[in-house]
C-alpha cells in the first residue's frame, strides 16, 4: 500500500502525534522575543562543562530528558532516537546518545535536522517500526564559530548578511497514540546549489532549496499557501526569507503574512544579530516550544515546517566549492 | 500494526529487494583478494579530480549511477536516496546528491552508514513511503588520513592495531518488487563506550557495540548464529573481530567459522595494512559486490550484515573523550 503522494511526499496514514517537546537555549536566545517560551535558559553557555562542545552535547541530552519527562516516559522505554547536529561527526548527538542509551540513528542534514528527524521518525512510528521516537537536534554559537568560522578570541567582525548560530537544543517525542499536534505529510528535500560561495551569506545559499521543497510540498498535496495558518522556514534569516518570497513569486505562488522564518523570530532587531538566527537549534527550539504551544492552544491549526540546511564544510569552501542547500518540509496539524 | 520485534528490531513485512548493487574502489583495494569482484578499480585515487575530497564525492556519485544502470533505472525515476560518509558535514554524499538530484536524506553513522542507510531505506520502501530507495556510502584513505590523523606528507608510522581506511564507494538499490536478496529484519544500534581512547585502535572501540547489536538481533529474532550462512561485521579488522568473538562467548554465544569481518577480507596479509580495512567504504564495497553476488549464486542464503561505526572526532579526542561505537544489523535473505 502506497504512502507516497506525488514525487517526494510521504503520507503518514496514522499521523504520529508530537506528545511533548522541549527546548534549552543560551542566554542571548533567552533575552530574545521568544525567551519566555523556552524550558531552560542558560546563564552561561558553558553550563558548568569544560568545553563548549561538552556543553552542547549536554544541552542535547537534557532536552531529550526534559521532553521524555513531560510525557512521563523514561529513556529506557524509548525504542528509537533520531538526530544530529552541526559538529564534525555529529559528536554532540552521538555523545548524548551514549549516555541516554536509546537505539540511535544519526542524521546529518545541517540545519534541516529537526525536520529530517521528524520526517524519518514519523514514517518509522507511522509504519509501526517503533511505538515512539524521540527526535532531537542542537547547535551552539561558540562551537560553530570556531569550527566553521574563526576562533571567538579573534573578535572578527561579521558581514551584514551573516546570521548568529543559535545556542539551543530541541526535542520532540513522537507517538502513535496521544494528544497533540500530528505530523501528516513530509517532503524529502533535493540538494540544490545556485552557486553562492559566501559562507557569510547562508540564507541566500539555502533559499533555493527552501523554494524547491515548499513548492514540491504544495504541489504534491494540491494545496495553496493560504490553507496554512503558518508556513515557517528554519533559519534563512531576514535576507534568505526575502529571497524565498521573491523566488517563489516567480513561480506564481505568493507567500502572505502567514509566512515567517524561525531565524527572524528568535532574536529582536535590537540584539544586533545582523540577519537573525541560524543553526539546527534555531528551528528546533522555536518549533518545540513556541509553535507547539500555539498549536495546542488552537491558535495555529495547520503548520508547514520547513527546516533548511547549508551543506558546506570549511574544507569544501577552501577547495572553492559553492554551498548547496537542502530543505525538508512537514505538514503538522492540530 | 506493529512491525517491531523485541526492543530494537524492525520487521520488514514486504522484505524489500536489493535489485542491484555496485562498488568502486581504489588501487590498493583492487589488488586485494576481492579485487576481481569490484565494478571499477581506480588506477589512481585522485580519479582525475583536483582533490581527494572531490574524487571521493565522484566515487559516491558514480557508484550510485552504476547501481541504477544495472537495474535499468535513471536517477530522475528514483524518489529517495539515503547515505553519508566520514568527512566533516558529509560533503562527499551531499555534493554527490547535488548532481544526482534525487531527494536525499543525509545520515551519519560513521562506518555503520551502509547498514544504517539500508535499515532506514528498507523501512521506507517496506512501508510504502517510497517505491525505491538508493542507499550509498563511501570513504577514502587519503581524505580520512588528513582529516582524522596526519597529513600523508608526514609519512607517519602506523601502530600495529591501526587499520587502513578503504578507498571505496558502494550503493544498493532497494525496491518493493524484483529479484534478489531481500532485507527482512533490521536492528537499530545503541551507542556503547567502554572507554577506549586510542584512535589507532578503532576495532577495540567498536567491538562492544557490535556485540550489543548482534546479541540484540539474535535475541529479538530468537535465532542462533549457526542459522546464518554468514555473519559479517563491517570494519572491526583482525583485533576487533577477535574481541567480538571473545566478548560474545562470555554471553554464551559462539560465533563459528560463518563469522567474518569485511575489514579482514578486503586486504591480504601481504598488503601490510596491519589490522585490515576500515571506513564506510569497506563494508559497502564488500556487501554490494562479493556478498550480493554469493547470495544471487545461492552460495549464501541467510546473511547477517552488521556495519560498525566509531563515533569520534579529532575535537572530541583532543578534549580527552573516549570513543563510543555503534552498530546496526540487518538480516538479508535470498
> For residues A92 and B316, what is the distance between their CA atoms, to the nearest angstrom?
10
Neighbours of B33 (CB within 10 A): 14
Identify whether the C-beta of residue B132 lies closer than 8 Å to the C-beta of residue B73.
yes
Residues 6+ apart with CB under 8 A from B244: B207, B210, B211, B214, B233, B236, B255, B259, B261
Asked if residue B91 has pLDDT above 80, the reply is yes
User: Which burial class, exposed, middle or buried, applies to B153 when counting CB atoms under 10 A from its CB (0-12, 13-18, 19+)?
Assistant: exposed
CB contact under 8 A, B120 and A120: yes
Min Cα–Cα distance to chain A from B9, Å: 8
Asked if residue A288 has pLDDT above 80, the reply is yes
pLDDT, tens digit, 9 for 90 and up, residues A23-32: 999 999 999 9
Pinpoint the alpha helices (H) of chain B. 27-30, 52-70, 91-100, 113-126, 141-148, 202-221, 237-249, 262-265, 280-285, 292-296, 314-318
Say what the pLDDT of residue B199 is.
87
Mean pLDDT of B291-306: 98
- Tell whether A120 lies on the interface with B, counting CB pairs under 8 A: yes
Mean pLDDT of A128-150: 96
Mean pLDDT of A150-155: 92
Asked if residue A1 has pLDDT above 80, the reply is no
CB contact under 8 A, A8 and B103: yes
- The shortest CB-CB distance from B110 to any of A89, A313, A315 is to A89
* Core vs surface per residue A200-227: b (16+ CB within 10 A) or e: ebbbbbbbbbbbbbbbbbbbbbeeebee
Identify whether the C-beta of residue A295 lies closer than 8 Å to the C-beta of residue A334.
yes
Residues 6+ apart with CB under 8 A from A198: A159, A161, A204, A205, A323
What is residue B169's three-state secondary structure? strand
User: Which burial class, exposed, middle or buried, applies to A270 when counting CB atoms under 10 A from its CB (0-12, 13-18, 19+)?
Assistant: exposed
B134, three cell numbers: 538508493
Asked if residue B228 has pLDDT above 80, the reply is yes
Mean pLDDT of B200-222: 97
pLDDT, tens digit, 9 for 90 and up, residues A173-224: 999 999 999 999 999 999 999 999 998 999 999 999 999 999 999 999 999 9
> For residues B91 and A317, what is the distance between their CA atoms, to the nearest angstrom?
11
Say what the pLDDT of residue B15 is.
97
- Tell whether A177 lies on the interface with B, counting CB pairs under 8 A: no
What is residue B327's three-state secondary structure? strand
Residues 6+ apart with CB under 8 A from B328: B109, B112, B115, B116, B119, B186, B187, B188, B189, B213, B306, B307
* pLDDT band with cut points at 50, 70 and 90 for residue A266: very high
Q: Which residue has the cell 527546548?
A: A23
B197, three cell numbers: 581512547
* Core vs surface per residue B206-226: b (16+ CB within 10 A) or e: bbbbbbbbbbbbbbbbeeebe
Say what the pLDDT of residue B43 is.
97
Identify whether the C-beta of residue A99 lies closer than 8 Å to the C-beta of residue A144.
no
Residues 6+ apart with CB under 8 A from B162: B200, B201, B274, B275
User: Which burial class, exposed, middle or buried, applies to B287 when counting CB atoms under 10 A from its CB (0-12, 13-18, 19+)?
Assistant: buried
Model-level pTM? Answer: 0.98
User: Which burial class, exposed, middle or buried, applies to B46 when counting CB atoms under 10 A from its CB (0-12, 13-18, 19+)?
Assistant: middle
Residues in chain B within 8 Å Cβ distance of A147: 315
CB contact under 8 A, B110 and A97: no
DSSP single-letter state for residue B236: -
Mean pLDDT of A50-64: 98
pLDDT, tens digit, 9 for 90 and up, residues B248-283: 999 999 999 999 999 999 999 999 999 999 999 999
- Tell whether B88 lies on the interface with A, counting CB pairs under 8 A: yes
Residues 6+ apart with CB under 8 A from A9: A185, A186, A187, A188, A216, A217, A220, A221
Mean pLDDT of B171-177: 97
pLDDT, tens digit, 9 for 90 and up, residues A221-241: 999 999 999 999 999 999 999
Chain A interface, mutation test: which of B103, B115, B121, most A Cβ atoms within 10 Å?
B103
Beta-strand relationship, A81-85 and A104-106? parallel
Interfacial B residues in 47-76 facing A (CB < 8 Å): 50-51, 53-54
Say what the pLDDT of residue A199 is.
87
Asked if residue A15 has pLDDT above 90, the reply is yes
pLDDT, tens digit, 9 for 90 and up, residues B96-136: 999 999 999 999 999 999 999 999 999 999 999 999 999 99
Q: Report the DSSP beta bridge partners of residue B135.
A: B82, B172
Question: What CA–CA distances, in Å, run from A201 to A158, A234, B78, B271?
Answer: 10, 15, 31, 47
Residues 6+ apart with CB under 8 A from B191: A94, A97, A98, A101, A104, B209, B311, B324, B325, B326
Residues in chain B within 8 Å Cβ distance of A123: 123-124, 127, 129
What is residue B93's three-state secondary structure? helix
What is residue B266's three-state secondary structure? coil
* pLDDT band with cut points at 50, 70 and 90 for residue B177: very high
Beta-strand relationship, B325-333 and B302-310? antiparallel
Nearest in space to A266 (alpha carbons), one of A34, A25, A43? A34
CB contact under 8 A, A316 and B95: yes
- The shortest CB-CB distance from B104 to any of A90, A147, A191 is to A191
Gap between the terminal Cα atoms of chain A: 26
> For residues B47 and B60, what is the distance between their CA atoms, to the nearest angstrom?
12
- Tell whether A150 lies on the interface with B, counting CB pairs under 8 A: no
Identify whether the C-beta of residue A256 lies closer than 8 Å to the C-beta of residue A244.
no
- The shortest CB-CB distance from A87 to any of B120, B129, B313 is to B313
Mean pLDDT of A116-138: 98
Min Cα–Cα distance to chain A from B238, Å: 25
Chain-centroid distance, C-alpha A217: 17
Min Cα–Cα distance to chain B from A187, Å: 9
DSSP secondary structure letters along B29-92: HHTSTTGGGSSEE-SSTTTT-SSHHHHHHHHHHHHHHHHHHHTT--GGG---EEEEESSGGGHH
CB contact under 8 A, A311 and B10: no
- Tell whether B279 lies on the interface with A, counting CB pairs under 8 A: no
Identify whether the C-beta of residue A309 lies closer than 8 Å to the C-beta of residue A235.
no
> For residues B293 and A232, what is the distance between their CA atoms, to the nearest angstrom?
47
Amino acid at each position: 500500500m502506497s504512502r507516497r503522494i506525488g514525487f517526494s511526499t510521504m503520507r503518514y496514514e496514522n499521523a504520529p502525534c508530537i506528545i511533548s517537546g522541549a527546548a534549552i537555549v543560551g542566554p542571548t536566545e533567552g533575552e530574545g522575543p521568544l525567551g519566555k517560551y523556552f524550558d531552560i535558559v542558560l546563564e552561561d553557555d558553558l553550563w558548568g562543562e569544560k568545553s563548549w562542545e561538552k556543553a552542547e552535547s549536554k544541552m542535547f541530552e537534557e532536552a531529550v530528558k526534559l521532553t521524555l519527562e513531560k510525557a512521563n516516559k523514561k529513556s529506557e522505554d524509548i525504542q528509537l532516537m533520531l538526530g544530529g547536529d552541526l559538529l564534525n561527526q555529529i559528536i554532540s548527538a552521538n555523545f548524548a546518545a551514549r549516555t541516554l542509551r536509546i537505539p540511535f540513528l544519526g542524521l546529518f542534514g545541517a540545519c534541516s535536522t529537526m525536520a529530517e528527524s521528524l520526517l524519518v521518525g514519523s514514517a518509522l512510528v507511522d509504519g509501526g517500526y517503533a511505538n515512539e521516537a524521540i527526535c532531537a537536534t542542537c547547535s551552539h554559537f561558540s562551537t560553530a564559530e570556531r569550527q566553521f568560522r574563526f576562533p571567538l578570541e579573534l573578535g572578527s567582525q561579521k558581514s551584514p548578511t551573516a546570521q548568529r548560530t543559535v545556542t539551543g537544543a530541541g526535542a520532540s517525542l513522537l507517538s502513535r497514540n496521544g494528544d497533540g499536534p500530528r505530523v501528516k505529510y513530509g517532503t524529502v528535500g533535493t540538494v540544490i546549489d545556485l552557486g553562492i560561495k559566501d559562507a557569510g551569506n547562508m540564507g541566500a545559499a539555502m533559499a533555493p532549496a527552501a523554494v524547491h521543497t515548499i513548492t514540491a510540498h504544495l504541489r504534491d498535496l494540491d494545496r495553496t499557501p493560504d490553507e496554512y495558518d503558518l508556513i515557517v522556514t528554519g533559519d534563512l534569516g531576514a535576507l534568505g526569507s526575502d529571497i524565498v518570497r521573491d523566488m517563489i513569486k516567480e513561480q506564481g505562488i505568493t507567500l502572505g503574512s502567514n509566512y515567517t522564518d524561525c531565524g527572524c523570530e528568535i532574536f529582536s532587531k535590537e540584539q544586533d544579530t545582523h540577519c537573525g538566527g541560524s543553526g539546527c537549534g534555531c528551528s528546533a527550539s522555536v518549533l518545540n516550544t513556541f509553535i507547539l504551544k500555539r498549536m495546542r492552544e488552537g491558535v495555529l491549526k495547520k503548520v508547514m515546517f520547513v527546516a533548511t540546511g547549508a551543506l558546506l564544510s570549511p574544507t569544501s569552501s577552501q577547495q572553492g566549492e559553492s554551498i548547496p542547500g537542502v530543505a525538508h518540509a512537514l505538514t503538522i496539524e492540530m
